[in-house]
Amino acid sequence: MPVYQKLKKPEKGDVISVSSGKLTVPDRPVIPFIEGDGTGPDIWKATQPVLDAAVKKCYGGKKEIVWFPVHAGLSAIQRYGIDTVLPEETLNAIREYKVAIKGPLTTPVGGFKYVCLECAAEQNDLNDKRPDKCVKCGSAWVTQRFRSLNVGLRQTLDLYACVRPVQWFTGVPCPVKEPEKLDVVIFRENTEDVYSGIEFEQGTPDVEKVIGFMKAEFGKTIRPDSGVGIKPISISGTRRLVRKAIQYAVEQKRRSVTLVHKGNIMKFTEGAFRDWGYELARTEFRDQTVTEKEVGEVHGGKVPEGKILIKDRIADQMFQQLLLRPDEYDVIATPNLNGDYISDACAAQVGGLGLAPGANFSDDIAIFEATHGTAPKYAGQDRVNPSSVILSAVMMLEHLGWNEAAVRIKNAIGKTIQQKRVTYDLERQMQGATRLKCSEFGAAIIDNL
Ligand code: NAP
C-alpha cells in the first residue's frame, strides 16, 4: 500500500481491483485525476460536474465517483520542485487505483533539460531561458532532449494500447459529405516503433559510433551527416495489441479488424506486425474470425454470419480508403506512428480534435485522456471545448461497466450540439449557433442529461 507524502488520499471510497484483465468495481471507486496544464483546469471544471450529475441521475446515490486529485506537468513542479514533472506519488496512485483520467500536459518549452556532468544535477527548461551554469556546482550545463511527459507516462506504466474511437455527432461541421459513414475504433501500439526514444543526434560521437557499427558489422552505408533513430517492433508487443483489438471486436460485436502497416517497405517491422497479427487471429480467435483471403477463396466473397473479418491495408492507401470508403472499416490495429497519424486524420474527418477522446491501457491500468494538447493561448479563459475530455470520461464509465451513465452523457452532448449551443470552435463554423463558454457548455450538457 503506497504512502503519500504530498497527496491527500480521499477519506472515503474503495479501490478498483483487476484480475486476469477483469475489473471489480466498487460502488464508490476512487479515481485519480490530473487536471492538466493550460486549458486543462478550465476543461476539468466543466467535466467533473457532468460526470457527477450523470452518475447521480442514473444510480440515485447508490454509486459515486470519489475523485482523487494528483499532479503531473506544471502543477507537479509547483508542488514537488523544479525537477519533478511526473512524481512517483502520482504513478503510485494510478498503480493503486487502476483507473485514472487526465487533462493535457505541457511538455516543457524547447523540449530540453539541462544536466550537469560534474554533479549530475538536472533542471527542466521551463521558460526557454538557458541557465549559464549548474545552479548546484557552477559547472557548465549539458543540454539533453526532454522526454515527452505523455510518452513517459505511457512507457513507465506500460500502457501499451492507445484506443481512440472516432464517430460523428450529428450537426458537427466537418470537411466531408457523409461523415456519419465513419465509425472506427483505432488501437494504436503505444510503447515501441519510432517512439521507443532510441535516437542518436547528428554530429555526435554516439551517432558516429552507430554509423561505424552498421558499416563494419552489416556493410550498411548511412550518410555520415545523419541523425539515426531505431524502430523496434516486437512479436510480444504486436500480439498484445492485436489481441486487445480483436477481443474488443468480439465483445462489442464489431464487423472487422484491419491491420494497418507499411510492410511493403519495412518488412521486418511493419510487415512482421501484419504477419504476427494474422497469426494471432488464427491461433487465438480461430472460431470467431475469418480472413479476407478465406472469404474470397472459401466463402464465395461473403463473410460468414457472426465472424469478424481480419484484413490488412498498407498505411498510405488506408488514408485514401478512410476518406473514400469509410464504412468498410471498423476496428483498426496499427503500430505507433501510423496510429498517431490515422487517429488525427479520422478525427479531422468528423470535425476535429475538440471531439476526439482516447484511452491508454496496460493489462490492468487505464488512463483516459483527450487527444488534443493544452491550447495554452486559451488558458484560464473558460473558452475551449471540453467534449474531448468528457467523451474520454464516457469511455472511462464504459470501462467501469457504468454504461447507463456513459450513454446518457453521450446523448446529452449530441443533443446540446444539435441545439447549436456550442463552444467557439464549433460556433465559428455553424450557421446560427450560440457561443457558450466552456463551463456553460458543461452546464448545457447537464441540462440535457
Ligand atoms: P493543442 O494544444 O492541441 O492546440 C492546437 C489548437 O487546437 C488550438 O490552438 C485550438 O485551435 C485547437 N484546440 C485544442 N484543444 C481544443 C479544445 N479543447 N477546444 C477547442 N479547440 C481546441 O496543440 P499545441 O498548441 O501544438 O500544443 C500545446 C501543448 O500541448 C504543448 O506543450 C504540447 O506538448 C502539449 N500536448 C499535450 C498533449 C497531451 O497531453 N495529450 C497532446 C498534444 C500536445 P484554434 O487556435 O484554431 O482555436
Q: Ligand 1 centre and the CA of 398: distance in Å?
A: 26
384 lines ligand 1 (CB under 6 A): yes
pLDDT at residue number 126: 47
Instruction: Answer yes or no: is pLDDT of 109 > 50.
Output: no
The distance of Cα 255 from the centroid of its chain, to the nearest Å, equals 23
Q: With contact defined as beta carbons under 8 Å apart, do 116 and 139 qualify?
A: yes
Place of cell 543526434: 201
Alpha-carbon span 121 to 112, nearest angstrom: 14
Identity of residue 307: K
Decide the pairing of beta strands 256-261 and 308-314. parallel
Q: How far is the CA of 8 from the centre of ligand 1 (A)?
A: 30
Q: Of 37, 312, 340, 425, which one is the catalytic site residue?
A: 340
Residue 146 pLDDT: 53
Atom of ligand 1 nearest to the CA of 39: 18
Span 393-431, pLDDT tens digits = 999 999 999 999 999 999 999 999 999 999 999 999 899
Please report the atom of ligand 1 found closest to the CA of residue 104. Answer: 40
Is-contact 393 47, C-beta < 8 A?
A: yes
pLDDT of residue 142: 56
pLDDT of amino acid 161: 97
Q: Which grid cell is 282?
A: 488464427
pTM (2 decimals)?
Answer: 0.89
Q: Tell me, yes or no, if 195 is annotated catalytic.
A: yes
CA distance 391 to 304: 34
Average pLDDT for 361-383:
92
153 vs 160: CA distance, rounded Å? 11
| 39 vs 16: CA distance, rounded Å | 29
pLDDT higher than threshold 60 for residue 169: yes
- Which run of H or of E encompasses 166? strand 161-167
**Catalytic residue check, 316:** yes
User: What's the sign of the alpha-carbon dihedral 194, 198, 202, 208?
Assistant: negative
